[in-house]
Chain A
């Protein structure tokens, strides 16, 4: 699946998007998998209460299943307007 990062999440991880092959069942599993890879992921995901997730461009949550999902995006709370 495609994994996208925005704002300071993107800056901490150091890239805007990447293709990830994973068997993670939920978003939380995917986050744990990424964090175990490299410190920069652990740094970005240190406080999950400060991060929002969208699955196929709809806001979702960390318990949500990833089955059938093509695009996961992680970002801070939005500040539009």
Chain B
């Protein structure tokens, strides 16, 4: 299991390949990648991601450890960036390795749901008209946790 909180871009192909090679007896591997998309009204120049350094790694490790145990994963990977990101850049990725695909898919969804609402990151949209605004948490993201 590996958790990384970083400013630097990551290479999706290299990360996925490395994870697959390291878990080539697992049977099933799922990866998910989050990308910076344009603001709803358009005109996004950058996404600034703030986090709580003392708490972030701890929270991500707890979330990943829970997924490892609950779905008997062979391995899990979480990479989450912070700082200033341009539209189209990769924000984060998760990868899960399990014996069967269902556990790998479900565990990846669990990781994503918890990353969204329980990992201390906040996103601010910087717009080309000089405006800026914090992305509000959505009720459906909080509701998504109740299914677990």
Interface residues of A (CB under 8 A from B): 4, 6-8, 54, 57-59, 71, 73, 75-81
Contact = CB atoms under 8 A, between A and B. Distances in A.
Contacts of B123: 79
B72 to A, nearest CB: 24
Interface of B: 34, 50, 52, 54-55, 58-59, 80, 91-92, 112, 115-124, 134-137, 142
Contacts of A76: 122, 134, 136-137
B58 A6 contact: no
Given A7-B122, A8-B134, A57-B55, A81 B92 contact: yes
Nearest to A59: B118
Contacts of B120: 6, 54, 73, 75, 78, 80
Contact of A57 (B58, B117, B136, B142): B58
8 contacts: A6-B120, A7-B124, A8-B134, A73-B120, A75-B120, A76-B136, A79-B123, A81-B34
Nearest to B113: A81
Contact of B50 (A6, A59, A81): A6
Contact of B112 (A4, A73, A75, A81): A81
A80 B134 contact: no
A80 B119 CA distance: 6
B54 A78 contact: no
Q: Output the residue of A7, A8, A78 with the most chain B CB within 10 A.
A: A78
B52 A54 contact: yes
Given A8-B134, A54-B120, A76-B122, A81 B115 contact: yes
Q: Output the residue of B52, B58, B80, B116 with the most chain A CB within 10 A.
A: B52
Contacts of B80: 80
A8 B116 CA distance: 18
Given A6-B122, A77-B117, A57 B52 contact: yes
Contact of B55 (A73, A77, A81): A73
